[in-house]
Amino acid sequence: MTIFNELYRIVDFNVLTEVRLRVDKPLYYAEAGKYKKINDLIISNDDLTYTLGVATKTSLYAYNDYLAEGYITYDGGIRIGITGEGVIKNGQLSTLKNITSLCIRIPRYVAIRNEKIDKLIAKFDNTLIISKPGYGKTTLLRYMIKSLSDREYNVLVLDERGELSGVVDGQLSIDLGACTDVVVGVPKIKSYSSQVRSMRPDVIATDEIFGEKEIDCILDCIRCGVKVVATLHSDELAKVEKSPSYSRLLKDFRYVVSIIGIGNIDKVIDLRGNYA
């Protein structure tokens, strides 16, 4: 296929992190988080249909529940965000049709070379990683998971979308450490209650905290003595502090890692009063 042949010709797949396909628009891609475009490749409906066919093994209908959530997952933890026209049945969104855009996100393990993070891991306590979308929260989270696992913490990864671990047919395609256990495809709210009791983790790791129910689960785990490392979409700590819901996390989390640009760790904030 033309668009993918062209990508193979010009892109360094060792650092490719994202591909964006929009109908009637040029192809955009990101290497190490930096966006580039190919002006002479205009995306067609056929390009999107072909890509979704590969991603769903030509069984798009079987993925309706995922389409209703706005994404599907593919081998290796690749997540494909999808926009299109919603189909409503019985008052609820059942699927998407007339797809207009795909955002293909490619997960990678990256060894983070940062003295602040190494010091945090050495004296680990509950840690919240915040940044805008696409700035590297998940990449940093993977590094912390493996680093804590290598220190022989039992780390339980709640990977509802399969993006953190890149599980394919039960095999992790991303090395998260020898002492890491991964729950894939299970709603996180259920995992907090069932897997935490059965797996006895020292640390729970989870991506993209969302909503009051998950906040309640996390705070309950901390109350039970389990440490947590998690990410949250926010561009600054002050906005978290002003949120009636998310500010509740701050009383039990010790560290906040703020990322202000792609791969740019701004500061590690010790909520007990120290800044690094």
Could you tell me the CA-to-CA distances from 12 to 16, 146, 173, 190 in Å, in that order?
6, 25, 19, 39
pLDDT in tens, 72-98: 888 877 889 999 998 888 888 888 889
pLDDT for residue 276: 53
Contact residues for 83 (Cβ-Cβ < 8 A; gap 6+):
70, 96, 99, 100, 101
pLDDT for residue 79: 86
Q: How far apart are CA 55 and CA 57, in angstroms?
A: 6
pLDDT for residue 62: 75
pLDDT for residue 274: 59
Q: How far apart are CA 92 and CA 79, in angstroms?
A: 23
Strands (E), the chain: 16-22, 26-31, 34-42, 71-74, 78-89, 92-105, 127-131, 155-159, 167-168, 171-172, 180-184, 203-206, 227-233, 255-261, 264-270, 274-275
For every residue of 77-146, which 3-state class applies, written as one string?
A: HEEEEEEEEEEEECCEEEEEEEEEEEEEECCCCCCCCCHHHHHHHHCCCCEEEEECCCCCHHHHHHHHHH
Beta carbons of 218 and 196 less than 8 angstroms apart: no
pLDDT for residue 22: 97
pLDDT for residue 255: 97
In the chain, the amino acid numbered 221 is C
pLDDT in tens, 113-146: 899 999 999 999 999 999 988 888 999 999 999 9
Q: How far apart are CA 253 and CA 22, in angstroms?
A: 40
Tell me the helix, strand and coil percentages in the chain, rounded to 5.
35, 35, 30
pLDDT for residue 11: 87
Q: How far apart are CA 229 and CA 47, in angstroms?
A: 38
Cβ neighbours, 10 Å, residue 65: 10
pLDDT for residue 275: 53
With a cut of 70, list the residues of the chain below it in pLDDT: 1, 168-169, 262, 274-276
pLDDT for residue 272: 85
pLDDT for residue 231: 97
Domains of the chain: 2-105 (3.30.450.90), 115-275 (3.40.50.300)
